[in-house]
Amino acid sequence: MEGRKRLIAWFDCIASLLAAGLIAALVIGLSRAERGGAADTLGMSKAIFGTLALVLAIALATFGSLRFYTVIIRNRQGSYLFFDTPDGQVRIRSASVEQVINRAVRCMDDVADARAALFLPRGARVPTKVRVRCRLYERPNVLAIQDQIRALVCDRYLEMFPTEEPLPVEVAIEGITFETPGPK
């Protein structure tokens, strides 16, 4: 989902900048035209029409630039988990915790592939839940496997952070592969 949001943000940024450029080009073309055009059709003077179009172009360019800046900053910052210890605050990148969980789930014999994502709401110091998206090998009891995945993720999280409460684990089985499992 995060990748989809990033793609939409990039599209939004590029569309805003292109629209601003198009409006600016139309205003320049309008200023060179002697009669006719959109200003005469709307019944307003060239100066008012040009001013409105330039304000719109500047607003779109500003919005596109801010969106671009937001996308770049979000990609660089990442999200961190914060824990208070007697020696001070500890900051751990959430991607590193996700990698540990991914590695643990992928080591299961029934799992072909797995991707974990920690959900960290704005302003929260610790995650509220974990979503594990996985593909399984063809096995008869899928529900038992998802229970094993939940237990493994909870155990692994509590091994890393023993002072925390267990996280709710959301398991999404995105596919069942008919390949034969290789050595792990």
Sign of CA dihedral 174, 122, 97, 141: negative
pTM: 0.59
Q: What is the pLDDT, as a whole number, of residue 31?
A: 65
Beta bridge mates, 130: 118, 169
Q: What is the DSSP letter of 17?
A: H
Q: What is the pLDDT, as a whole number, of residue 74?
A: 61
Pair 79, 120: CB distance under 8 Å = yes
Domain layout of the chain by residue ranges: 2-77, 93-177
Q: Which residues, other chains included, contact 23 with Cβ-Cβ below 8 Å and sequence gap of 6+?
A: 53, 54, 56, 57, 60
Q: What is the pLDDT, as a whole number, of residue 158?
A: 92
Q: What is the pLDDT, as a whole number, of residue 14?
A: 77
Task: Provide, rounded to the nearest whole percent, the portion of the chain with pLDDT above 90.
Answer: 26
Q: What is the pLDDT, as a whole number, of residue 1?
A: 46
- Please write the tens of the pLDDT for every residue from 7-18: 777 777 777 777
Q: What is the pLDDT, as a whole number, of residue 37?
A: 55
Greatest mean pLDDT range, 58-72, 97-111, 116-130: 97-111
Q: How confident is the model at residue 120 (pLDDT cuts 50, 70, 90)?
A: confident
How many of the other CB atoms lie within 10 Å of CB of 171? 19
Q: Which fold has domain 93-177?
A: GMP Synthetase; Chain A, domain 3 (3.30.300)
Q: What is the pLDDT, as a whole number, of residue 180?
A: 72
Across the range 138-160, mean pLDDT stands at 90
Q: What is the DSSP letter of 142?
A: H
Q: How confident is the model at residue 67 (pLDDT cuts 50, 70, 90)?
A: confident
Across the range 54-79, mean pLDDT stands at 71
Q: How confident is the model at residue 69 (pLDDT cuts 50, 70, 90)?
A: confident
**174 vs 34, higher pLDDT:** 174
Q: How confident is the model at residue 95 (pLDDT cuts 50, 70, 90)?
A: confident
Q: What is the pLDDT, as a whole number, of residue 58?
A: 80
